[in-house]
């Protein structure tokens, strides 16, 4: 019965997203890129991590992560507005910081590709007889070489078209998963079997782990780089829509999951969400793996293309995009074979936090120069300090 309901919800959501009034709506099209980035990978790893580490406080930590992301997004949105008004008259400090921010973003993209493809590898072998770290790394390495071969010889234009398809698949499967969780939550409530797990972390260790998870709500900044298709006002609205929707989805997800699985019921590993969902309905693991493989590959392609293009632009073509791809793959292979997924998540979080810190510093300077916005400068400066703290103190799941 649960399988049928979940499948109906998934298909119905996919059908809704394909309706011309939805898929053709300009605001929705502008919002799908950041929305898919925010909930794409985080949805696969956040639930088990928060449940195992924070217990009954998982929902509060999820809310704090989303609030922090929205705050960083406010700095980027402010910069988009200022840049749209004064693109040619920016003072030197802002210009220098912008270049530094672009370098930080390119570095973050490089690490995020390793993150996406290590998730791809883990989920790719999860339902096979080869469900082990070695084989997951082999699959991840193969995908890195595939991306390098395609980027070096043909470019990513054809592969990037996958994004339009994978966004719909991902959101439809998430809808089915939430329906399955809601049914299971209702059953546990009726039987009086809800649980409130104790937190394994508290104080400073709990804060530093949250710092190391910021990448799981990252992706909203992609709205800023849709300038070729949308004006600043539309990009600002799209980021807000994506962040609000992703926050609602995440809070529902964690709100259901955190109170139905006792700690230790499922061992914490990269694909723990599959074991959790198998308890709810047999169809969910298959849907999750399908979503993971399509979403992680398309995200890796997008960030590889972005990193290569940024490196070429920042070096004034002295380093080509293809050479940028090669650097990315070299870093990805190194991370794949010398670290684990949770460490890569921490590294990616710190890399994106550096970018957010720089963007917040730019926003603070810009706000101070504008009399009507001067009150915002201390707030943006505080965000810059928070970003630096995440870079310095973010830790990985142990």
DSSP 171-240: HHHHHHHHHHHHHHHHHHHHTT----PPPS--HHHHHHHHHTTGGGG--GGGGGG-TTTS-HHHHHHHHH
- pLDDT tens digits for range 34-43: 887 788 788 8
- CA dist 76 and 239 (Å) reads 10
Predicted confidence band of residue 88 (pLDDT cuts 50, 70, 90): low
Confidence of residue 81 (pLDDT cuts 50, 70, 90): confident
pTM: 0.91
The candidate with the shortest Cα–Cα distance to 238, out of 11, 25, 29, 23, is 29
> How buried is 316 (Cβ within 10 angstroms: 0-12 exposed, 13-18 middle, 19+ buried)?
exposed
Residue 339 has pLDDT above 90, yes or no: yes
- The pLDDT confidence band at residue 16, using thresholds 50, 70 and 90, is confident
What is the distance, to the nearest Å, from the Cα of residue 251 to the centroid of all Cα atoms in its chain? 15
The number of CA neighbours under 13 Å toward the Cβ of 176 is 31
Query: Residue 297: its pLDDT value, please?
Result: 82
Residue 204: predicted pLDDT: 93
Non-local (6+) Cβ contacts of 162 within 8 A are 294, 297, 298, 301
| Percent above pLDDT 90 for the chain | 31
Residues 191-205, mean pLDDT to the nearest whole number: 88
Taken in order of first residue, the domains within the chain and their CATH numbers are 2-393 (1.20.1740.10)
Question: Is the confidence at residue 224, as pLDDT, over 80?
Answer: no
Q: Is residue 152 classed exposed, middle or buried when 0-12, 13-18 and 19+ CB atoms within 10 A define those classes?
A: middle
Averaged pLDDT of the chain: 86
Q: What is the pLDDT of residue 272?
A: 86
pLDDT in tens, 276-327: 888 888 888 888 888 888 778 877 877 887 788 888 888 887 888 888 888 8
Whether 46 shows a pLDDT value over 70: the answer reads yes
Task: Say if residue 15's pLDDT is above 90.
Answer: no
Q: Which residue has the higher pLDDT, 337 or 173?
A: 337
- Give yes or no for residue 63 having a pLDDT over 90: yes
Of the two residues 302 and 178, the one the predictor is more confident about is 178
Other Cβ atoms closer than 10 A to 308: 27
pLDDT category of residue 89 using cuts at 50, 70 and 90: low
Instruction: Tell me: pLDDT of 91 over 80.
Output: no
Which conformational region is residue 140 in: left (phi greater than 0), alpha (psi within -120 to 50 degrees), or beta? alpha
User: Once rounded to an integer, what is the mean pLDDT over residues 231-242?
Assistant: 88
- Using one digit for the tens of pLDDT, what is the confidence trace for 137-165? 999 999 999 888 887 877 666 555 555 56
Of 15-24, 139-148, 324-333, the least confident = 15-24
């Amino acid at each position: 019965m649960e399988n049928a309901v979940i499948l109906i919800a998934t298909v119905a959501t996919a059908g809704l997203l394909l309706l011309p009034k939805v898929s053709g709506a300009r605001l929705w099209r502008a919002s799908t890129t950041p929305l898919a980035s925010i909930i794409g990978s985080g949805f696969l790893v956040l639930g088990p991590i928060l449940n195992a580490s924070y217990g009954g406080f998982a929902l509060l930590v999820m809310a704090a992560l989303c609030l922090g992301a929205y705050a960083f997004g406010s700095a980027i949105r402010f910069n988009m507005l200022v840049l749209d008004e004064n693109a040619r008259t920016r003072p030197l400090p802002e210009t220098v910081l912008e270049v530094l921010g672009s370098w930080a973003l390119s570095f973050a993209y490089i690490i995020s590709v390793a993150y996406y493809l290590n998730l791809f590898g883990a989920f790719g072998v999860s339902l096979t007889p080869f469900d082990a770290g070695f084989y997951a790394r082999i699959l991840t390495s193969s995908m890195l070489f595939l991306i390098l071969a395609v980027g070096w010889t043909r470019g990513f234009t054809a592969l990037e078209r996958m994004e339009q398809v994978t966004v719909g698949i991902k959101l439809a499967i998430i809808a089915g998963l939430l329906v399955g969780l809601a049914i299971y939550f209702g059953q546990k409530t009726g039987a009086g079997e809800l649980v409130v797990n104790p937190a394994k972390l508290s104080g400073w260790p709990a804060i530093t782990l949250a710092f190391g998870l910021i990448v799981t709500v990252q992706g909203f900044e992609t709205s800023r780089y849709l300038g070729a298709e949308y004006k600043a006002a539309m990009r600002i609205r799209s980021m807000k829509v994506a962040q609000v929707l992703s926050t609602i989805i995440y809070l529902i997800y964690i709100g259901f999951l955190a109170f139905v699985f006792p700690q230790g019921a499922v061992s914490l590993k990269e694909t723990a969400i599959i074991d959790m969902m198998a308890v709810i309905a047999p169809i969910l693991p298959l849907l999750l793996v399908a979503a993971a493989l399509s979403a992680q590959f398309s995200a890796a392609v997008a960030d590889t293309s972005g990193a290569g293009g940024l490196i070429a632009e920042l070096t004034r073509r002295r380093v080509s995009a293809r050479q940028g791809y090669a650097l990315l793959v070299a870093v990805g292979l190194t991370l794949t074979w010398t670290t684990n997924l949770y460490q890569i998540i921490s590294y990616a979080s710190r890399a994106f936090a550096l970018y957010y810190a720089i963007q917040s510093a730019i926003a603070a300077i810009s706000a101070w120069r504008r009399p009507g916005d001067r009150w915002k400068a201390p707030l943006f400066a505080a965000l810059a300090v928070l970003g630096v703290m995440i870079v310095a103190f973010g830790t990985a799941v142990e």
